Structure 1
């Protein structure tokens, strides 16, 4: 059973998400909160597997709450609920360790798949959100600056071993650590170690940044 906490300042949104999630018998809505501060109070008594987190909320917004949750409860997955006019927050959310971004009007299948992907160590992003993520991380660069950035990236990539590059290619295909382990005939723990070393060598924070980093290079 996957335990979820829904965080959104609009009750109608929380009720809608609860209705969608109730369609899956493997998901249990453990609790809900109307802002980041209420979530932090709830986490003192509850241990969810995943938090569905709105961005714009009073008292404490979703980005601030994500930062604190990932610092205090690193095993809790945080999936950001976003709309098209909130791209200025995307980079901050990724920096603080958000495990995914989905649109507020996403269908039940996409929401449930994003939860499963986060638990499996992968990140499922709506294509429109992915575009905004890339824009937020890369921005629009002048040709010379873009060339320099690519050259710098290639120098960093040269630090990776052939095996690590193989792991990267599997990550780019959206595979989880468990699936990568099966494909490479190694344990899931070994894959996690590879991923940690790759992120460390490239000075990246998470798998989403890794995907963006390699987007135009592999």
Structure 2
């Protein structure tokens, strides 16, 4: 059973999400909050595995709440609920370690997939959000982009071992540690060690930042 908390300042949104999630027997909504401050109080009593977090809320918004959760409860997965026009919030949330981004009008399948992907150690980004991230990272002259990608790949090959490079390629494909271990015929613990070494070598703080970095290469 996956214990989950919903954070959104609109009751109608919280109720809608609860109805959607109630259709899945694996998910158990154990609490809800209408802003980040209330969430912090809630986390003193509850220990959810996943938080569905709205961005724009009064008193404490979802970005500051995400930062707090990741600093104080790093094992909790945070999936941001967003609209398509919240670019600044999107990049701030990724910086603070959000584990996924889905649009508020997403269907039940996408919401449930994002929850499961986060728990498996993957980063789930709605395709429209991914497109925005990639465009922002690649905002450079078209004629130079291919050469710069090749340069970045060569640099990466010099920094990482061949096996670490293989792991990085699987990460950019959105695979979880378990899936990577099966593909490379190693234990899941070994994959976690590889990921830790990659984060250290590339000087990024978490898997989200790693995915953003690798978007420039692959």
For residue 125 of structure 2, what is the aligned residue in structure 1?
Answer: 125
Counterpart CA distance in 2 for 1:111 and 1:11 is: 18
Counterpart CA distance in 1 for 2:150 and 2:82 is: 30
Q: CA deviation at 1:151?
A: 3.5
Distance of aligned partners of 1:153 and 1:91 in 2 relative to their CA distance in 1, 3 Å threshold: farther
For residue 55 of structure 1, what is the aligned residue in structure 2?
Answer: 55
What is the DSSP-based 3-state SS (H/G/I as helix, E as strand, rest coil) of the residue aligned with 2:169? helix
Counterpart CA distance in 1 for 2:52 and 2:133 is: 18
Deviation digits for residues 154-189 of structure 1, max 9, x if unmatched? 424411000001111111222110111122121111
Which range moves more in the overlay, 139-148 or 179-188? Answer: 139-148
Counterpart CA distance in 1 for 2:95 and 2:212 is: 13
For residue 70 of structure 1, what is the aligned residue in structure 2?
Answer: 70
Counterpart CA distance in 2 for 1:104 and 1:75 is: 24
For residue 185 of structure 2, what is the aligned residue in structure 1?
Answer: 185
Counterpart CA distance in 1 for 2:107 and 2:38 is: 26
Q: CA deviation at 1:135?
A: 3.7
Deviation digits for residues 74-128 of structure 1, max 9, x if unmatched? 0000000010111111111111110000000000000000000000001121110
- The answer (yes or no) to whether the contact 2:178–2:188 under 8 Å persists in 1 is yes
Counterpart CA distance in 1 for 2:56 and 2:150 is: 34
- 5+ residue gaps, structure 2, are none
Superposed, 1:94-109 pairs within 5 Å as 94-109=94-109
Q: CA deviation at 1:139?
A: 5.9
Q: CA deviation at 1:49?
A: 0.3
Report the number of matched residues. Answer: 217
- 5+ residue gaps, structure 1, are none
Counterpart CA distance in 1 for 2:144 and 2:204 is: 20
**C-alpha RMSD of the superposition:** 1.9
What is the DSSP-based 3-state SS (H/G/I as helix, E as strand, rest coil) of the residue aligned with 2:3? strand
For residue 8 of structure 1, what is the aligned residue in structure 2?
Answer: 8
